Amino acid sequence: MSQPVIITCAVTGGAPIVEKNRVPVTPQEIADSALEAWRAGAAIVHIHVRDPNTGQQSNEFRYYEDVVNRIRRSGSDVLINLTTGFGGRYIPNLEDRDRIGPGSNVISPADRCRHVVELRPELCSLDMGSMNFGNIVFVNTPAIVAEIAKAVTAAGVLPELEIFEPGHLRLARELLANGTLPAPGYFQLCLGVRWGSAADTRTMQFLVDQLPAEARWSAFGVAHSHFAMAAQSLILGGHVRVGLEDNLYIERGVAAPGNYSLVERAVVLANALGRPVASAREARTLLGILS
């Protein structure tokens, strides 16, 4: 239990904003919140961007560039992890099967990862399969996943393999075996998302048992399962992810004042369970990131 634990902070996500879930919106707010999380103990910050005027999810390159430049100019050594998730949202048009429904944002794999290829963060998320995601379909066919994987690895970026259900892990193992993904792989087990894998001990243990030998892994649970799954990951020897993308509350009924507070709670859990918290420098070594 003495293995250092990498804490990732998922800063804002792309979920629609309602009054109860104030999250960072502008590039400055996102960068500032990321740096607060780093100072609290996060070695990695996972970044989505939003339209500063509407607060809605965005894939505008200039917003990613602004956030990344602000973090890099700060002098922080935090590892930056940019999403490639935008562009897979599909809502069928049930009245016209030849058209997609409103709210969809399906774009090409190249457009989904352009900001990663050009900005070259240390990591990027890579969703390892399609799924029903709440009331939408999140589209990540094997061909889409492989194209993004090849582009980001060619740019020297480590893909973090997002696993929402067991089939995603099977595809990841196939792409690792054929060299499309760099071995041994860094996995993020994503638990409790509707309608993905459940956030419970047996599910996490099952997924961990299916991981390739020597794979590095992290896990998170959404909403009320947030800290329970963080503790479970720590016990099983994994790394952890916390942040306002996944959970808005520091405790039942009490809104988290910021990402830093969720990171601080994860640090307390790690210390209580005998897991020293990895610095950003140590995280680079653990993940084999040389730059």
Q: Give the 3-state DSSP-derived string for 140-200, with helices as H, strands as E and coil as C.
A: CCHHHHHHHHHHHHHCCCEEEEEECCHHHHHHHHHHHHCCCCCCCCEEEEEECCCCCCCCC
pLDDT for the residue numbered 219: 98
Are 7 and 277 in contact by the 8 Å Cβ rule? The answer is yes
Does residue 289 have a pLDDT over 60? yes
Q: Are strands 239-242 and 7-10 parallel, antiparallel or unpaired?
A: parallel
pLDDT for the residue numbered 20: 60
Q: Are strands 123-127 and 158-163 parallel, antiparallel or unpaired?
A: parallel
- How far apart (Å, rounded) are the C-alpha atoms in residues 72 and 164? 31
Reported confidence tier of residue 15, pLDDT bands at 50, 70, 90: confident
pLDDT, tens digit, 9 for 90 and up, residues 255-274:
999 999 999 999 999 999 99
CATH topology of domain 7-287: TIM Barrel (3.20.20)
Does residue 126 have a pLDDT over 90? yes
The residue-averaged pLDDT of 112-126 equals: 98
The residue-averaged pLDDT of 273-280 equals: 98
Say what percent of the chain tops pLDDT 70. Answer: 98
pLDDT, tens digit, 9 for 90 and up, residues 24-44:
999 999 999 999 999 999 999
DSSP state of 129: S
pLDDT, tens digit, 9 for 90 and up, residues 58-83:
999 999 999 999 999 999 999 999 99
pLDDT for the residue numbered 21: 64
Distances 119 to 48, 61, 198, 246 between C-alpha atoms, Å: 14, 9, 34, 25
pLDDT for the residue numbered 104: 86
**pLDDT greater at residue 290 or residue 21:** 290
Does residue 231 have a pLDDT over 70? yes
pLDDT for the residue numbered 260: 98
The residue-averaged pLDDT of 139-156 equals: 98
Burial 17-27 (b: 16+ CB within 10 A, else e): beeeebbbbbb
Q: Is the dihedral of CA 291, 267, 25, 229 positive or negative?
A: positive
The residue-averaged pLDDT of 93-111 equals: 87
pLDDT for the residue numbered 18: 65
Does residue 19 have a pLDDT over 90? no
pLDDT, tens digit, 9 for 90 and up, residues 244-255:
999 999 999 999
Tokens coding 62: 């200039």
pLDDT for the residue numbered 96: 83
Does residue 1 have a pLDDT over 70? no
DSSP E strand stretches across 181-233: 186-191, 216-221
pLDDT for the residue numbered 103: 83
Single-letter amino acid code for the residue at 238: G
Does residue 93 have a pLDDT over 90? no
- How far apart (Å, rounded) are the C-alpha atoms in residues 49 and 12? 8
Distances 38 to 84, 118, 284 between C-alpha atoms, Å: 22, 24, 14
- Per DSSP, the chain holds a count of helices (H) and strands (E) of 9, 15
DSSP state of 184: S
pLDDT for the residue numbered 291: 66
Q: Which of 143, 155, 85 is nearest to 117 (CA)?
A: 155
Q: Are strands 136-138 and 123-127 parallel, antiparallel or unpaired?
A: unpaired
Tokens coding 185: 């792989």
Reported confidence tier of residue 230, pLDDT bands at 50, 70, 90: very high
